[in-house]
Every structure is written in C-alpha cells, then in structure tokens.
Amino acid sequence: MAEIMSFKVQARESSGTGAARAVRRTGRIPGILYGENIVPTPISVDAKQLSEQMHRKSFFVTLYELDIDGKKQRVLPRDLQLDPVTDIPLHIDFLRVGTGTRIRVSVPVAVTNEAGSPGIKRGGVLNIVRHEIEVICRADAIPQRFTIDLDGLDVGDSVKISAVKLPEGVRPVIADRDFTILTIAAPTVVADEAAAAAAAAASGTPAEAEAVSAAGAVPAAGAAAPAAGAAPAAGGAKGAPPAPSAKGAPAAKGAPAAKGKKK
C-alpha cells in the first residue's frame, strides 16, 4: 500500500497571474487540482509545508490526501514550478486519483550493499544508467523506490530490469527490451610511468635522448663516449672512415683536429 500523507489546502476564488502573485504574498503557493473528469479547482498550499515535502526523493510517487474546507481528496503531485534563480516553489499541480486508477509514474532507483561488491572493492566504478524507472501501476500501489543489491557484482557485471522484482500489478513502460539499470565499469587508471614517458617525449628531455640512444640511434656531436660493449669510435675499427674535424675538413688519421684560427 502506498504511503498516504496529508496536505491542508484552501480553495481559491480566482485564478490568473495577478491572483497567483497575491496568494504568494500571503505565504502560500497557488496550485490546481484536476482529474477524474471533474472541473479543475484552483487551490493554495502553505509554502512552508510544501517546501518540506518537495525535497523528499519520493515526492512525486507519494499519495497525498488534500483537506479542502473539510472535503478530502486523494491526489498525486504531478508538476511543480520553481523560480529559476531561487528555486522557491511558484505553482503546484495535483492529480485526483480514485480507487483502481492506473497511472504512469517514475520511481527512483536506490542501491545498497556497495561494500559487498567485489568489483567496487577492486576500484570499479558504479554507473547508474537509469536513476528512475517509469512504470504503470495503480495509484494506491505505487512503489516508493526500486532497491538494487550490489552484493556479489564484479567488474563488467550489469543489472537489467528483468533482475528487479516488481510488485504485483506494476509493469515497466518499456516492455520491448530488457533494458540496463546499472553496471560496474572497469577502473580508468593511467600508470604514472606511462604519463612521465609521454611528457618526456613531448618535451624532448634527456630521458627521451637516452631512450633514443638505447634504441640504436647515432649520438649527436659532442655526446658522451659510448658505453662498454658499444661500437668502437671512428678510426678504431678496420675500414671505418676518419672522424671529421671541427671545421668539416677530413683530419689526418689518428691526428687531432686543427685548433685556432686559419691563417
């Protein structure tokens, strides 16, 4: 049985923008009551009471009993207009519901037992695909929420609507496929070493130069002597050409390059 709460409201004699502003100045919020093939009734609700109720996650799936001058009406909140800057309620719509009335509502999704999920323990990310599930049900049997237990879910696992036990008489609006509600995604971790290597390659740091040399590239002029086991220096290997002098002229075999200015 759906939770039923009470609202004490007052009927309004007139409607329209000017009348609505006058109602707000008295500390009340204008609204409208419609449905059940009855002429819509302008009403007003206490602003403080509405503010307390509107922040409940299950506000739009909670049945309320409106007391209008001693006459009670069972209703469901259907629309709430808020000020775009202050989020103060400006107008509220209520739908009359009778016995056996079937309606279309969005029921919030809640998760539990995250500590029991091996995937989350290993750093997996909980991805809630649908925070609400739209269903069709009787107005007096609206689920307050759909609770999903994460116990045993590992990375790569998902929960579909077929795994959720729906109350009797409740069916999802989407009936042509087994849609996904949530998944446990793999963690997205970038290794520090890879990030450092990428940064070094982009900036041309000595680390990059060492990596290139290790791969067999020719060292630049003035580079340090090759490590032990590397190819011998120019002139030391049989048949190797002599190293060029500082001025680009070939040096005598085994002789150092000329120094000083050319006369």
The token pair that represents 221 in the structure block: 């002029």
Query: What is the model's pLDDT at position 209?
Result: 43
Q: How far is CA 76 from the centre of its chain?
A: 29
Q: Cα(132)–Cα(48) distance, rounded to whole angstroms? A: 27
What pLDDT was estimated at residue 191?
Answer: 41
pLDDT value for 232: 45
Interior CA angle at 253 toward 251 and 258, to 5°? 30
Distance CA 91, CA 77 (A): 11
pLDDT (0 to 100) of residue 58: 84
Cβ–Cβ < 8 Å for 135, 170: yes
Unique residue bearing structure tokens 């509405």:
50
Query: How many CB atoms lie under 10 A from the CB of residue 181?
Result: 19
Name the stretches of the chain with pLDDT < 70.
1-3, 189-198, 200, 204-263
Do 79 and 40 form a contact (C-beta atoms < 8 A)?
Answer: no
Domains of the chain: residue spans and CATH: 4-97 (2.40.240.10), 103-185 (2.170.120.20)
Residue 33 bridge partners (DSSP): 41, 94
Q: Which residues pair with 125 in a beta bridge?
A: 185
Q: What is the pTM assigned to this prediction?
A: 0.61
Give just the sign of the alpha carbon dihedral 202, 206, 212, 218: positive
pLDDT of 235: 45
CA distances in angstroms from 211 to 109, 194, 218, listed in the order given: 52, 14, 12
